[in-house]
Amino acid sequence: MNYFQHPRWKNLIEKGSEKLLQRKKQIIEAWKKLVSKCRELPVCQTSIKQLTVLLLAVFLVTGMIGNMEVFAAEEAAMIMADETITANRVLLDGKEVGYVCDPISARAVMDEVLSDKASLYNMDISTVSSMTFETVSIKPEQLSTKASLEKSFKEYTEVLVKAYSIYADDELIGVVKLEEEAHELLNHVKSQFLEEGSSLEDAYFQEEVKIEPVSVPFAEVKSVDELKEKIKEAQETIEEYTIQENDTLWDISRKYKIDLDELMAMNPERNPKKLRAGQTLRLSYPKMLLNVVTTQVTEYEESIAYETETKNDSSMYTNQSKVIQEGEKGLKKVGVLIRKVNGVEKEREVKSEEIIKKPVNKIIATGTKALLACSSRGSGRLAWPTKGRITSRFGRRWGKPHKGIDIANSKGTPIYAADSGTVTFAGRQGGYGRMVKISHGGGLTTLYAHMSSIKVKSGQKVSKGQVIGYMGSTGNSTGPHLHFEVRVNDNPKNPLKYLP
């Protein structure tokens, strides 16, 4: 209601009541003083009209004015409604978020917001947000309330917590709340590879591990359990290997410490017997975020191989021999320093050896009596069956026994009888391809495989050094070579022990 339109008050004003005019001036002056006092407060939250109502209440309670003089306060509010005040525009990282009478009030509200965040996270916090101010003229109603200022600060302030980051070779493992939690996590990773009862020398990480204080958003902070799971998961790294000259799958599996069957399963298109230089193989092995290296000292017993002595016996022919003393293995106690990575042994170093039992040598008597020359019986002393280089030796290969040696050369290289004897087989035989087998008497036989062509027949007598065929790659072969075997009573022997 507009009191100036009330007939009674309009009549009074028109009559120019001196008393009423004096009261009006008193109200306006008191109102101005109250507004001025309010502006000195840290945060201006009360609008001009609210102050007017407050002043009216005070005057009515104290009896300064009567009920009929309330219209004067309304007129005062109308007079001041068009007034502007000097205030501060609050900018957060350059963005306007409100207006205050004094910068101190805005900073006080920000301190409260940060304090609440610190209590919520139970962590020390900081902010990278920058608060600046600009002096402006605004209407009193534009001043921000505390609630609106708090809301803006919470929405636009970037709050960071003070935490601890864990790095391995400069790669971030994760961020935890406390430094103690970082050490707890690292100790847990190590403990998985510490064996009970072992004489542990040392345990450390293969990577350079660092714990550093850092300020980050709270969302980046993880619990110890979360990081335990992250470290536990292995990250598969797929790599390719280019096959080199004379490589075998067995050699590659040993080099990269991959099970041979797994390596073959990863490369089903590669025939292990037909590898070629320049081909590629897929390799896969786990790379952990943190790798624990342990060194420990341990002792174990190990057998000592006996040596074989040879004694001449003139009563036997040169292709004859007999054992006159069986050999016995010895025994020793060995102290070693074992180095493991993630519980898998990588190397060991012998630190001490103590002989418990000495070995007993094996003694073999070999004949020295010369044999009469004959085409069906050899001399017992073998000659090299061809020219070339050894590409595979006697022993285990690709997880299976390799019963002879492989001598590689170009296709068509001549192959000779290693000694005089009788051809017992000449033809194709399974994986051997074209093969010749010669008996030299006394249970000694030689075998020649993968020939491109054969120049002798079964039952034919041959002389030492006679051409029996030519080198090829028939049967299961990786390229032109001679597979040469020496057998005694059909038991494969290392040919290198019979060749000069």
Short-list 138, 59, 156, 151, CA closest to 99: 138
User: How many Cα atoms within 13 Å fall on the side-chain side of residue 411?
Assistant: 10
362-369 and 308-317 beta bridge pairing: parallel
In which element (H, E) is residue 350 found?
strand 344-357
Three-state secondary structure call for residue 484: strand
Domain 296-368 has CATH 2.20.230.10: yes
DSSP per residue over 98-137, as a string?
Answer: EEES-HHHHHHHHHHHHHHHHHHHTS-EEE---EEEEEEE
- CA–CA separation, 127 vs 435, rounded Å? 84
CATH class of 235-287: alpha beta
Domain definitions of the chain by residue range: 3-83, 86-157, 163-232, 235-287, 296-368, 372-497
The confidence score (pLDDT) of residue 203 equals 86
Tokens 């101005």 correspond to 32
Short-list 321, 328, 334, CA closest to 306: 328
- CA–CA separation, 285 vs 41, rounded Å? 69
Structure tokens at 262: 């797994």
The confidence score (pLDDT) of residue 100 equals 92
Angle at 199 between CA 194 and CA 202, to 5 degrees: 60
Q: 53 vs 4, 57, 60, 73, CA distance in Å?
A: 18, 6, 10, 8
Beta carbons of 229 and 189 less than 8 angstroms apart: no
DSSP per residue over 68-84, as a string?
Answer: GGTHHHHHHHHHHTT--
The confidence score (pLDDT) of residue 472 equals 94
Angle at 169 between CA 163 and CA 171, to 5 degrees: 55
- CA–CA separation, 429 vs 475, rounded Å? 8
The answer for residues whose C-beta is within 8 angstroms of residue 457's C-beta and 6 or more apart is 423, 426
Give the CATH number of domain 372-497. 2.70.70.10
Intervals of the chain under pLDDT 70: 1-83, 195-199, 234-238, 285-287, 317-319, 370-380, 399
Tokens 């080198």 correspond to 471
